Amino acid sequence: MPILCEPADGARRIVQGVAGEVRAADSLRATAQMLEHDPGETLVVIGPRTPTSEALAFAASLRLARPSVGVILTREAVDVDVLTHALQSGVREVVQAGDDAALAAACRRSYEVSRRLTDAATDAAESAPLGQIVTVFAAKGGCGKTTLATNLGVVLAKDSGTRVCVVDLDLAFGDVAISVQLDPSRTLVDALPMTGHMDTTGASSLLTRYQPGLDMLLAPVTPGDAEKIPASLVGELLTVLRGMFDYVVVDTPAQFSEHVLTAMDASAHHVLLTTPDVPALKNLRVTLDMLDLLSYPRQIRSVVVNRSDSKVGLSLDHVEKVVRCPLAAQVPSSRAVPISINQGTPITLGTPGHPVSQAIGKFARQRLMAASVAVSRGPLALARHGRRSA
């Protein structure tokens, strides 16, 4: 539904020229807020009461942020100077105020341009290679999932020179934002209005930039918001993000929820984290049995032992015997890790030469960057849901 930027007392005489229903905004600021909450909108009509300089500045910034949105400017007087500056600012057309037929035609042409831009962007996204989704999971809390996920994000973005997104899927108690000192002004709960029609524009509006090449999709912070987010929305988001990023690293809660299983269905790699203590190893063994039961391929799993050099009476050989599978990586224990968390700087970013950073970097290069796993996720999801409903 197009947005008409014009005070209410002047909007009535313009609305007839805009085809269909119209949403009125009495200022450019209100218009920007409407656009922010509706990533699918592609038309803004700015009435004559808005100063030309402000309208052109708005159009220029919108052209960079949302190129698929067309801006049509209506003026009481249209001259060469206005037309020249308007086109330079990205305004698609300037129409004489009161000419309803010309305004309606301009709206139709603008919609057609937006449609072609959107189709071209979709075709480009579909032809581009899809990124890998990496889900980090541990069935016991306190193993260091968030620390590993954020540091993997840093390493993948830095070492491969690619685009990476870290998704905090611990919807009730997510710690990604606080561990890297980001302001969670945009979170997963803001995706709710886009359920069923998520696209790259909508997904981009949810992201928080951490550093060049690395974005974060943060967990909700308001109590009760976690319950509002359906697993289907998580699936939509991961599908879109996979087309936007080379790697999507998903941090999860310590439980097999429908949201976690949705992420695992979409993943090219499962990173299963444990620590060398009996409760964590028992939970890892149960996790591996559960993944076997759900028919996830074993070749996409990597078992990582955190705090592997802890003197707790369990050797790494004993750990392997308990979990009955080889260990992909061993991350040593260090006081530098909690210090890096308290400082809000991942250790791989603040101290790349540290043994912990080296271990995480080696794992990322050998198991994630070099991985070429061609596994169809669709049949897995159908099989799992089929068994659960049987």
Per-residue pLDDT of the chain (390 residues; tens, 9 = 90+): 789 898 876 556 666 656 567 888 889 999 999 988 888 888 999 989 899 999 999 998 888 778 889 999 999 988 988 888 888 888 999 999 888 888 888 888 888 888 887 776 666 556 567 899 999 999 888 899 999 999 999 999 986 568 999 999 999 999 999 999 999 999 999 999 888 888 888 899 999 999 999 999 999 999 899 999 999 999 999 999 999 999 999 999 999 999 999 999 999 999 999 998 888 888 999 999 999 999 899 899 999 999 877 666 677 777 787 778 888 889 998 999 999 999 999 999 999 999 999 999 999 998 898 763 333 334 344 334 433 333
Q: Are 124 and 141 in contact (CB under 8 A)?
A: no
- Burial class from Cβ neighbours inside 10 Å (0-12, 13-18, 19+) for residue 106 reads buried
Q: Are 287 and 137 in contact (CB under 8 A)?
A: yes
The secondary structure of residue 218, as a DSSP letter, is B
Separation between Cα atoms, residue 289 and residue 44, nearest integer Å = 55
The 10s digit of each residue's pLDDT in 181-196 is 999 999 999 999 888 8
Backbone angles phi, psi at 238, to 5 degrees: -65, -35
314: left (phi over 0), alpha (psi -120 to 50) or beta: beta
Sign of the C-alpha dihedral, residues 21, 25, 28, 31?
negative
- b/e map 57-73, b = 16+ CB within 10 Å: ebbeebbeebebbbbbb
User: What radius of gyration do the chain's Cα atoms show?
Assistant: 25
E strand intervals along the chain: 3-5, 23-25, 43-46, 70-75, 93-96, 132-137, 164-168, 208-211, 214-217, 247-251, 269-274, 301-306, 329-331
Neighbouring C-beta atoms of residue 91, cutoff 10 Å: 24
**Angle at alpha carbon of residue 11, lines to 9 and 12, rounded to 5°:** 85
Distance (Å) of CA 251 to CA 17, 153, 366:
49, 10, 20
CA 73 to chain centre: 33
Q: Which domains are delineated in the chain?
A: 3-126 (3.40.50.2300), 129-389 (3.40.50.300)
Residue 124 has which token pair? Answer: 């480009």
State the maximum Cα–Cα separation within the chain, in Å, rounded to a whole number. Answer: 84
The 10s digit of each residue's pLDDT in 13-49 is 666 656 567 888 889 999 999 988 888 888 999 989 8
Separation between Cα atoms, residue 369 and residue 269, nearest integer Å = 11
Residue type, 49: R
Separation between Cα atoms, residue 357 and residue 332, nearest integer Å = 10
